[in-house]
Amino acid sequence: MISRVLAFLFFLLISCIPYLYSQHISYPVDENMAEHFLAIPSDNEINTLELSKEINHSGQTDWIRTFVFYPEKTRHGAFEENSVNTIKQLKNNLKLQLTHDSFYQEQNLLQPLADAPSVFKTFEANIALEGTPTDNTLAVSNGGIIVSAINSNIRYYNTSGTELFSKTFFDFLGDTNLKSKLYDPQVIYDSGADRFIFVLLHGSHSSTSRVIVCFSKTNNPLNGWYVYQFPVTTLSSVYAFKWFDFPKIGISNDDLFITGNIFKNDEGGFSESVIIQMTKSNGYQGKTLIWKLWNNLSDADGGKPFSICPVSYGKQGNYGPVFYLLSNKNAGNSNKIYLYEITNKLGSNPQLKSFSLTTNTYYLAGDAVQKRASQDIDPGLLDIGDCRIQNAFYQISNGEGIIHFVFHSEYNQTYNAINYNRLNLKTMKFSSKMFANASVDYAYPAVVSSSPENDPSKDVMIAFLFASATHFPGLAVVSCDDQMNFSNYVVLKNGLTNVNILSDENERWGDYTGICRKHNTSAPRIWISGAYGANISDNSVKPPVLKPYRYKNFIAEVADNQITEINEEIKPEDHTVNIYPNPVVKTFQLSFDVREAGMLEISLVQADGKFVTALFRDYVRQGKAIFSFNSLALKPGIYFVRISRENKQIMYEKMVVSD
C-alpha cells in the first residue's frame, strides 16, 4: 500500500514539473528610456461575475443543418474612419491606374538568406457558406488537440487533421437568449495551465452587445467549457448606448486580458479602447470571475489608443506578474508605437503605464487588387482595413525582454507589406524590417516564435494573406532568422478563384490570420489557419447548390527547415512497451526502456485514432521508465497507448478497459 502511495506521489510530482519550470518573469520597463511616459489613473474597482453556463458536449451536430445565415458583412469601425477611408481611396485610384498601365511585375524585393519553412500536414478546415470576412483563429495544445474557429463555427481536430467536433456558435453555446450575431472569435492555449480559452462577441448594439468568455474544463475541450457573459452595460454603466468590438486576448501567469474597441450605437463612431483584466484560475474551475475594466485610456502622447494588442509569452508557459500591450496609429503616417505595462496581477494593486516610442514612419496603403476569374465581372478590391497591430508575443533572449509584433503597412506607394518589429525592453529600441513584393499585397500577418524552447535566438515565422492582379486570394508563410533575414515565402494555399460576396463594393478580407506554436517538440511545429478564394458546394439542400466566389479555410503545419533536417529519425521497432494488467480494471502500469534521455509524451487514443487525453509530457532520463495511471474516467473499450518523442511516434500498444 505504501509503495502505491509513494508511486502516486511521484507521478504527481513529475506531472507538475512542466508547470514548475514554465513560469517566466518579466521586469518593469525603465521609464527614463521612453520618449514620453504616462501613468494612467485607475479607480482600482474590482468586480465579480457569476458563471453563466456549463457546456457539456454530447455527441456531434451537423452544423450545416443548424447554420444561422448572415449574408451581410461583419463590419468593424475604425478610429478616424473618415481619414482612413480618404487615404485608401486615393491610393486605390493610384493602384488601379498602375494595374491598367501593365505595371505588374512580380518581384521579391529582398535577397532571401534565411531557410524557407518546411510544410508538413495540410487540410481543409472550417466551412463558411455565407458571411464575410472569415476571422481565422486557432490554438493547439501540448496534447495535440487543435481548436479552430471562424466567424460562424468552431471545430476541434487532432494533429493528423481528423475532425473531432464541429458546431455553429449558436449550437456550441446552446443559449436561446442569444438571438443576434455571434462573431469575432479568438482562441488561445494556455500552456502554463494546459487549458484553452475561447472568446467571441454577440451583437453590435448596446441592447445585444456581450463579450462571451469560455474556459475549457480540462486540457481536452471535448470535456466541456465554463461560459461567462459580459453584457456591455455590465462592463460600465456609461456604455448604455455603446457596443464592444474587435476583441484581442492575451494571458499572463495569473490573468486573462481582453482588449476591445467601444463604439456608439447606430454608426455613431468610435468611443474608446478598453482592457478587461480577470483572474484565470476561477474561470478554469467554473467559479465566480474576479475582473477589472481599464478604460478612459490615453497613450503616452495624450491621444486615444485604438485596437490595443495584448502580448502573451511566445514559448512554453507564461510570464508575469507584469503584462505588456501595444498599439499604434491605425491610419498610419506616424512613427509612434505605444507600449502599455500593467504592473501586477489582479488583487495586487496593478497600475497601468503608457510609453511613447519612436520607430520608422509607417503609412496606410490602399486595398488589394485580386485576379479576376472572369474578365466580364469586376470582383472589387480586397479591404485591408487599416494598419493596426495584428498580433505580438514576448520572449526572453539572453536575459533581455523582446516583444515581436507585426502589422501591414504601405510599400511601393500603394501596396501592402509585412511590417515586422522587435522591441528590446531593456534599451527601448526597435529593430524593424519589411517583407514586400513590388506588385503583390501581403496583409493580415501573424507572428510566432520558431526557435526551440531553450534557444535564445529570435527566429520567427509569419503567416499572411496575399493577392494581386495575377493571384487569387491565398495563404502563405515566411521565416525570419535571428539576424532579421527573411526567407522566400512558401505558399500554403493558392486561391482557386476571386472573392465576390458583397455586390457593388469592396470585399472584406482577413480580419486576421490564425497562428500558434506547439510547444512540446524540440523542433517547434507551427500551425497556421487562413482563408483563400474558392467555390463552395452547399450540401444542406438537395440537390447541392454551388456558391461561387466565396472563402474556404485551410490549416497547415510548418517547421523550421534547418531544425527539422537535423532531427534524428526514431523507428517504432526500436522500442516496446508493456501494459499491466491488460485488460485494465481500475489502474494500470506502463513500463518501457528509454534508449536516450529527452522529452516524451504518453497519450491515449481510441481504436479509430481519435485523441482521448495526454497522460504525461516531460523530460525522461535514460533507462527503465515505469508509470502508473488509473482508468476511472475511461469508458470500457479498446484504446491504444501512444508514446512519442520529438513529435515522432516510437511506441504503440493496444489496451483494453474492462467493465
Is residue 185 included in any domain, yes or no?
A: yes
Q: What is the mean pLDDT of the chain?
A: 85
Three-class DSSP category at 469: coil
Q: Identify whether residues 521 and 593 lie together within a single domain.
A: no
Distance of CA 186 to CAs 203, 247, 388, 447, 506, Å?
A: 16, 7, 17, 15, 25
Is residue 6 included in any domain, yes or no?
A: no
Residue 334 CB contacts under 8 Å (≥ 6 apart), including other chains: 328, 361, 362
Three-class DSSP category at 255: strand
Q: Identify whether residues 484 and 620 lie together within a single domain.
A: no
For residue 111, what pLDDT is reported? 57
For residue 36, what pLDDT is reported? 74
The per-residue pLDDT for range 607-631, each reduced to its tens digit, is 666 778 878 777 777 788 887 777 7
For residue 362, what pLDDT is reported? 97
Q: Name the least confident of 166-175, 521-530, 557-566.
A: 557-566
Examine the fold and report which residue of 564, 593, 628 is the final residue of a domain before the chain moves on.
564
In the structure, how many helices (H) and strands (E) does the chain have? 6, 40
Q: Identify whether residues 492 and 372 lie together within a single domain.
A: yes
Residue 576 CB-half CA count within 13 A: 1
Cell matching residue 75: 463590419
Is residue 31 included in any domain, yes or no?
A: no
Cβ proximity of 352 and 339 under 8 Å: no
Is residue 328 included in any domain, yes or no?
A: yes
For residue 71, what pLDDT is reported? 36
Better pLDDT: 69 or 227: 227
Q: Identify whether residues 554 and 591 lie together within a single domain.
A: no
d(Cα 529, Cα 186) in Å, to the nearest integer? 13
Residue 237 CB contacts under 8 Å (≥ 6 apart), including other chains: none
Residue 362 CB contacts under 8 Å (≥ 6 apart), including other chains: 328, 332, 334, 335, 387, 407, 409, 410, 419
Is residue 34 included in any domain, yes or no?
A: no
Distance of CA 537 to CAs 30, 339, 541, 656, Å?
A: 56, 46, 10, 41
> In 3D, which of 254, 258, 348, 349 has the Cα closest to residue 295?
258
The per-residue pLDDT for range 127-149, each reduced to its tens digit, is 987 779 999 999 999 999 999 99
Residue 558 has pLDDT above 70, yes or no: yes
For residue 58, what pLDDT is reported? 53
pLDDT classification of 593: cutoffs 50, 70, 90: confident
Residue 103 has pLDDT above 60, yes or no: no
Q: Which CATH number fits the domain that encloses residue 512?
A: 2.130.10.10
Is residue 348 included in any domain, yes or no?
A: yes
Q: Identify whether residues 542 and 603 lie together within a single domain.
A: no
For residue 139, what pLDDT is reported? 98
Q: What is the mean pLDDT of residues 334-361?
A: 95
> In 3D, which of 29, 25, 24 has the Cα closest to residue 424?
29
Q: What is the mean pLDDT of residues 336-350?
A: 95
The number of folded domains in the chain is 2
Q: Identify whether residues 411 and 505 lie together within a single domain.
A: yes
Better pLDDT: 603 or 239: 239
Q: Identify whether residues 66 and 178 lie together within a single domain.
A: yes
For residue 609, what pLDDT is reported? 63
Q: What is the mean pLDDT of residues 343-348?
A: 94
Examine the fold and report which residue of 543, 564, 585 is the final residue of a domain before the chain moves on.
564
d(Cα 382, Cα 374) in Å, to the nearest integer? 16
pLDDT classification of 10: cutoffs 50, 70, 90: very low
H or E stretch covering 522: none
Distance of CA 295 to CAs 184, 272, 540, Å?
A: 21, 8, 44
The per-residue pLDDT for range 475-486, each reduced to its tens digit, is 999 999 999 999
Residue 555 CB contacts under 8 Å (≥ 6 apart), including other chains: 122, 123, 124, 125, 138, 146, 148, 157, 161, 527, 528, 529
Better pLDDT: 603 or 350: 350
Cell matching residue 26: 518579466
Q: What is the mean pLDDT of residues 193-214?
A: 97
If you search the block for the grid coordinates 463604439, which residue do you land on?
263
Among 98-112, 245-259, 552-566, the range with the most confident prediction by mean pLDDT is 245-259
For residue 79, what pLDDT is reported? 63
Q: Identify whether residues 593 and 637 lie together within a single domain.
A: yes
For residue 49, what pLDDT is reported? 84
Q: Identify whether residues 544 and 487 lie together within a single domain.
A: yes
Residue 21 has pLDDT above 50, yes or no: no
Q: What is the mean pLDDT of residues 430-456?
A: 93
For residue 181, what pLDDT is reported? 94
Spell out a b/e string for 433-465, using b for 16 or more CB atoms within 10 Å of the CB, else e.
bbbbbebbbbbbbbbbbbbbbebeebbbbbbbb
Residue 423 CB contacts under 8 Å (≥ 6 apart), including other chains: 337, 339, 357, 402, 403, 405, 429, 430
Q: Identify whether residues 505 and 603 lie together within a single domain.
A: no
d(Cα 538, Cα 299) in Å, to the nearest integer? 47
pTM of the model: 0.81
* DSSP character at residue 321: S
d(Cα 70, Cα 74) in Å, to the nearest integer? 9
What residues form DSSP beta bridges with 249?
A: 258
Is residue 14 included in any domain, yes or no?
A: no
Q: Identify whether residues 200 and 307 lie together within a single domain.
A: yes
> In 3D, which of 397, 365, 362, 368 has the Cα closest to residue 380?
368
Residue 344 CB contacts under 8 Å (≥ 6 apart), including other chains: 321, 322, 350, 351
Better pLDDT: 393 or 266: 393
Better pLDDT: 316 or 106: 316
For residue 560, what pLDDT is reported? 80
Cα angle, residue 580 at apex, residues 579 and 586 outer, rounded to 5°: 110
d(Cα 289, Cα 526) in Å, to the nearest integer? 32
Q: Identify whether residues 577 and 559 lie together within a single domain.
A: no
Examine the fold and report which residue of 512, 532, 564 is the final residue of a domain before the chain moves on.
564
Is residue 249 included in any domain, yes or no?
A: yes
Q: What is the mean pLDDT of residues 58-65?
A: 37
Q: Which CATH number fits the domain that encloses residue 618?
A: 2.60.40.1930
Cβ proximity of 335 and 360 under 8 Å: yes
Q: What is the mean pLDDT of residues 552-562?
A: 87
H or E stretch covering 126: none
For residue 281, what pLDDT is reported? 96
H or E stretch covering 418: strand 415-424
The per-residue pLDDT for range 214-251, each reduced to its tens digit, is 999 999 999 999 999 999 999 999 999 999 999 999 99
d(Cα 84, Cα 363) in Å, to the nearest integer? 11
d(Cα 25, Cα 324) in Å, to the nearest integer? 12
For residue 6, what pLDDT is reported? 44
Whole domain around residue 389: which residue ranges? Answer: 47-55+61-564
> In 3D, which of 384, 379, 455, 375 has the Cα closest to residue 417?
384
If you search the block for the grid coordinates 496593478, which residue do you land on?
350
